[in-house]
Chains A and B, each alone.
Chain A
Amino acid sequence: MSKSVDNLEKIRKSLSRRNRAEKRFRLYGVTAVLIGLAAVMLLFTDIVSKGHGAFRIAYLQLDITYDQDLIGIDNLTDPQQLALGNWQAMPKVALRNQFPDVSGRKDKRSLYGLVSNGAGFDLKDRLLENPLLLGDSETLWVLADDDIDTYYKSWLDGEPYDARLTAKQVAWIHELHDQGKLRLQFNSNLFTRGDSREPEQAGIRGAVMGSLLTLILTLLLSFPIGVSAAIYLEEFAPKNAWTDFIEVNINNLAAVPSIIFGLLGLAIFINFFHVPRSVPIVGGLVLTLMTLPTIIITSRAAIKSVPPSIREAALGMGASKYQMVLHHVLPLALPGMLTGAIIGMAQALGESAPLLMIGMVAFIVDIPGGFSDPATVLPVQIFLWADSPERAFIEKTSAAIMVLLSFLIIMNTSAVWLRKRLERRW
């Protein structure tokens, strides 16, 4: 009797300790979840705070004269003249007129450094669109150099970064700002241009097009093949060693590091089949092989979720096995398959490591127009920009990441929406 009382006493004493342990354990769990969520928040705020500035860029207001003699051109239809024209002279002269008391080679050079060295070509394009402007003059907003842009934004934010500017340049910037001749405008270059070595002229259009072309090819190849493979494995495959082997292969491929697929692409597609480097075709092929396991696995799950009664009913009505699959199982499993395809595409869109191997890391200015044009893709563009030393590229990189993430968010939410909307409970 006394023993059980003792035990009861022991248990009572230990209870508070055990309850404390319980609370601590629970706290660990909450902390773990909160750390995970904090990581998500931190990542997004970091990217957005670094990248939001890139959507606006500094422009200078200059009085541009389209002076024939200055450019060295009298005929706007002569390609030779157009190629040799001294276009950059226009913004230079405009700057000299703006600051007439600047003299000396060094000072002049730093004055010219205020505008982007692509500004002349922008003026050329404007002139070609409006040939009547030749010989005329107008007041125009001209793209500023990236160092000016960086300084101006950091100054507006209250922590000026002037490491790459001379004192005179800073003074000019403030003078222009006070006159209202320097301002931030929407950075349309970011969305309309290809890559460039100059941060202020660099855009993601080329990379987005490259990603789009690569993804189209990936989808066209991997969805039919993946669905066919899933149908075979779920509906037709006999239970034998060969089928098991296929299954083991698929499961393993799903976990093979993506860079290995790059090695495969390099050795087989490029060196053996001589597919050209850097083109969306080879990127699409590699990504197809990479996303196939995902698509096969999700498609199989979708086929599995179709109840057997439907199959039996179809067979009972005299349908052949093919008709049963094609007319009944496939339409019912399609929403699940589409969800899987979207998830696979999202995975392919974010992938960069295998594409580095097959040359999609090249510096490509032109915007690709077809499957066999050299191209790069958005994640690789991010990688390239992240590697660039110019400070303005940090902002650009973050902006490109924001664009990439928004594509991914759209794809993933549409997958969730599709699943919710079309999923049937049996």
Chain B
Amino acid sequence: MQATNILFLILGLGCFAFYLGRGRSLAIAKPLGGVRHLHSLPSYYGFHAALWCALPSLFLLSLWMIFDDLLINSMVMDALPAASAPADSASYNLLLNKIANLADGILPRSGESAALVSAADQMLNYRVVSRWSLTALILTLSLVGMAWGWSRTAPLFRARPVVEAVAEKSLLACACLAIFTTLGIVLSVLFESIQFFRSVPAFDFIFGLDWSPQTAIREDQVGSSGSFGAVPLFVGTLLVSAVAMVVAVPIGLMSAIFLAEYANKTVRSYAKPALEVLAGIPTVVYGFFAALTVAPFLRDLGEGFGLSVSSESALAAGGVMGVMIIPFISSLADDVITAVPQSMRDGSLAMGATKSETVRRVIIPAALPGIVGGIMLAVSRAIGETMIVVMAAGMAAKLTANPLDSVTTVTVQIVTLLTGDQEFDSPKTLAAFALGLMLFTVTLLLNIFALHIVKKYREQYE
């Protein structure tokens, strides 16, 4: 039986257990004079039986799914005759894949050595045994659980607290998924990065000035070592982000001020959602727009002025990214500006200040921490933005501060290093994880700091 079928079997049995448990509680309650003589409502007895029926089986199923393949693989490989046993881990995996493909019928069996064919047969055999024993075990476990849950149904049995305790645990587990996700991110980038830093020293990576990750296939080729100095990437990322901020901060901030302080209700109710449309557009669309409309336009414009603008200029990518970030800054700034207490505005206006003076001298200083926090979040957004730069910025790592030139960024390199066919252990792919670690650390610090500022600011006026 397939795992999904077993899952449905368990769920079906669970429903049946619910029905049985509920029915038994009703049957017990009837001679006593009604449901009110039970400790809990009948459905709780049903849930109790269902939980006993389904939970242990689900647990067993998930354990089985994790260890099943590992166990079968190692058993098959151990049974191989010594002559065809693999020497190292790479050929081990290769051989294992081959056997699995033979077993699945992806590779033709004719022409393969007898040992491999028999190993494939054995693998199929083990799989069948595993499936059937799993089915049998699950079935027994579910039925035993169902019987146990059913038998515990009694007028004085406190089913509700049991069910609710289980429910609360599962809610807690859902909430903890956020922690596991963070942990998963940290572990996955950290482990691969440590592996990477074994072959490339961390110092060379962070302070090296030369980035050319194309490790050659042959040892004696030029540049066969590959060099992993990430400074050009950091500079490129900062350049693109700086261009984006130059576009986004003034426009975002001014439109937030206008919408919060000047615009009447009608204008605000139309202009604000219209601006937020920009936030809802997928980044791949911005990337297309930057690469096919903005970049050629800037190049032609530059030619008109006698400037040489690269067709993958940082200006195009950064400018479009800035447009994407406008609504982000404007809505965050709008929030903090409207949170400034009205009394401060009234005070300033009563002293004879004009509206713009009030905004500049009173509201902005009061809202500054929040605005700075918002801008930092926006910077972290810009640093981590991927599609726009992948489509509109270059691939070549250049150490330049000229926005008209083409630069590459951390995210672009992660994508180029990891898309397409890859072996997982080469420094080339591991470098992507090291870059990911950098990216994660920087954005995490920015986010924590920014969220802290914003939160503190909010408390100030609450």
- Interface of A toward B, CB cutoff 8 Å: 18-19, 21-22, 24-26, 28-33, 35-37, 39-40, 43, 46-47, 50, 224-226, 228-229, 231-233, 236-237, 245-246, 248-253, 255-264, 266-268, 271, 273-274, 289, 292-293, 296, 320-322, 346, 349-353, 356-357, 361, 379-380, 382-383, 386-387, 394, 397-398, 401, 404-405, 408, 412
Known A225-B177, A274-B69; judge A26-B281 contact (CB<8 A).
no
Which one of A228, A349, A353 contacts B411 once the chains associate, using CB atoms below 8 Å? A353
Q: Are A47 and B189 in contact (CB under 8 A)?
A: no
Known A36-B327, A267-B433; judge A322-B164 contact (CB<8 A).
yes
Q: Which residues of chain B come closer than 8 Å to A29, judged between CB atoms?
A: 254-255, 257-258, 261-262
CA A295 – CA B53 in complex, angstroms?
A: 31
Which one of A225, A255, A258, A352 contacts B447 once the chains associate, using CB atoms below 8 Å? A255
Known A36-B326, A231-B171, A408-B282; judge A263-B177 contact (CB<8 A).
no
CA A293 – CA B182 in complex, angstroms?
A: 11
CA A40 – CA B289 in complex, angstroms?
A: 12
Is B251 on the interface with A (CB-CB < 8 A)? yes
Q: Are B287 and A386 in contact (CB under 8 A)?
A: yes
Q: Which residues of chain A come closer than 8 Å to B415, judged between CB atoms?
A: 259, 353, 356-357
Is B27 on the interface with A (CB-CB < 8 A)? no
List 30 contacting pairs A-B, 8 Å CB cutoff, sorted by A: A21-B356, A21-B357, A25-B356, A28-B254, A37-B274, A40-B275, A43-B289, A229-B171, A229-B178, A236-B171, A246-B175, A249-B179, A251-B447, A251-B451, A252-B447, A252-B448, A255-B451, A256-B185, A257-B383, A257-B411, A258-B384, A263-B188, A264-B184, A273-B66, A274-B69, A352-B283, A357-B414, A383-B287, A408-B280, A408-B281
Is B172 on the interface with A (CB-CB < 8 A)? yes
Known A18-B354, A25-B359; judge A404-B254 contact (CB<8 A).
no
Known A225-B174, A256-B384, A267-B192; judge A26-B262 contact (CB<8 A).
yes
Q: Are B387 and A353 in contact (CB under 8 A)?
A: yes
CA A394 – CA B296 in complex, angstroms?
A: 14
Of chain B, the residue at the smallest CB distance from A290 is: B181
Known A30-B258, A322-B164, A386-B287; judge A260-B280 contact (CB<8 A).
no
Q: Which residues of chain A come closer than 8 Å to B280, judged between CB atoms?
A: 346, 350, 408, 412
Of chain A, the residue at the smallest CB distance from B392 is: A386
Q: Which residues of chain A come closer than 8 Å to B259, judged between CB atoms?
A: 33
Give the shortest distance, in Å, between B165 (CB) and chain A (any CB): 10
* Known contacts A228-B171, A245-B179, then 19 further A-B pairs from the complex at CB < 8 Å, ordered by chain A residue: A25-B360, A26-B356, A29-B262, A40-B274, A229-B171, A236-B172, A252-B451, A253-B182, A256-B444, A257-B440, A259-B386, A259-B436, A263-B188, A263-B418, A264-B184, A320-B164, A353-B390, A357-B418, A386-B284
Is B342 on the interface with A (CB-CB < 8 A)? no
CA A296 – CA B283 in complex, angstroms?
A: 23
CA A33 – CA B274 in complex, angstroms?
A: 10
Give the shortest distance, in Å, between B319 (CB) and chain A (any CB): 10
Q: Are A32 and B250 in contact (CB under 8 A)?
A: yes
Q: Are A233 and B386 in contact (CB under 8 A)?
A: no
Which one of B258, B384, B419, B451 contacts A257 once the chains associate, using CB atoms below 8 Å? B384
Q: Are A31 and B175 in contact (CB under 8 A)?
A: no
Q: Which residue, B176, B277, B285, B424, has most C-beta atoms of chain A within 10 A?
A: B285
Give the shortest distance, in Å, between A343 (CB) and chain B (any CB): 9
Q: Are A252 and B444 in contact (CB under 8 A)?
A: yes
Give the shortest distance, in Å, between B233 (CB) and chain A (any CB): 14
Which one of A19, A36, A320, A321 contacts B330 once the chains associate, using CB atoms below 8 Å? A36
Q: Are A232 and B171 in contact (CB under 8 A)?
A: yes
Q: Are A351 and B282 in contact (CB under 8 A)?
A: yes
Q: Which residues of chain A come closer than 8 Å to B271, judged between CB atoms?
A: 33, 37
CA A271 – CA B254 in complex, angstroms?
A: 47
Known A22-B355, A246-B175; judge A352-B254 contact (CB<8 A).
no
CA A226 – CA B327 in complex, angstroms?
A: 26
Known A253-B182, A268-B188, A397-B288; judge A36-B275 contact (CB<8 A).
yes
Query: Which residues of chain B (342-391) have a CB below 8 Å from chain A?
Result: 354-357, 359-360, 377, 380-381, 383-387, 390-391
CA A18 – CA B356 in complex, angstroms?
A: 9
Q: Are B284 and A40 in contact (CB under 8 A)?
A: no
Q: Which residue, A19, A349, A352, has most C-beta atoms of chain B within 10 A?
A: A352
CA A395 – CA B360 in complex, angstroms?
A: 47
CA A386 – CA B285 in complex, angstroms?
A: 10
Q: Are A229 and B175 in contact (CB under 8 A)?
A: yes
Give the shortest distance, in Å, between A139 (CB) and chain B (any CB): 39
Q: Which residues of chain B come closer than 8 Å to A232, judged between CB atoms?
A: 168, 171-172, 174-175
Is B227 on the interface with A (CB-CB < 8 A)? no
Which one of A226, A252, A397 contacts B182 once the chains associate, using CB atoms below 8 Å? A252
CA A350 – CA B293 in complex, angstroms?
A: 20
CA A273 – CA B184 in complex, angstroms?
A: 13
CA A26 – CA B189 in complex, angstroms?
A: 48
Q: Are A401 and B288 in contact (CB under 8 A)?
A: yes
Is B323 on the interface with A (CB-CB < 8 A)? yes
Q: Are B181 and A253 in contact (CB under 8 A)?
A: yes
Q: Which residues of chain B come closer than 8 Å to A349, judged between CB atoms?
A: 282
Give the shortest distance, in Å, between B280 (CB) and chain A (any CB): 6
Is B39 on the interface with A (CB-CB < 8 A)? no
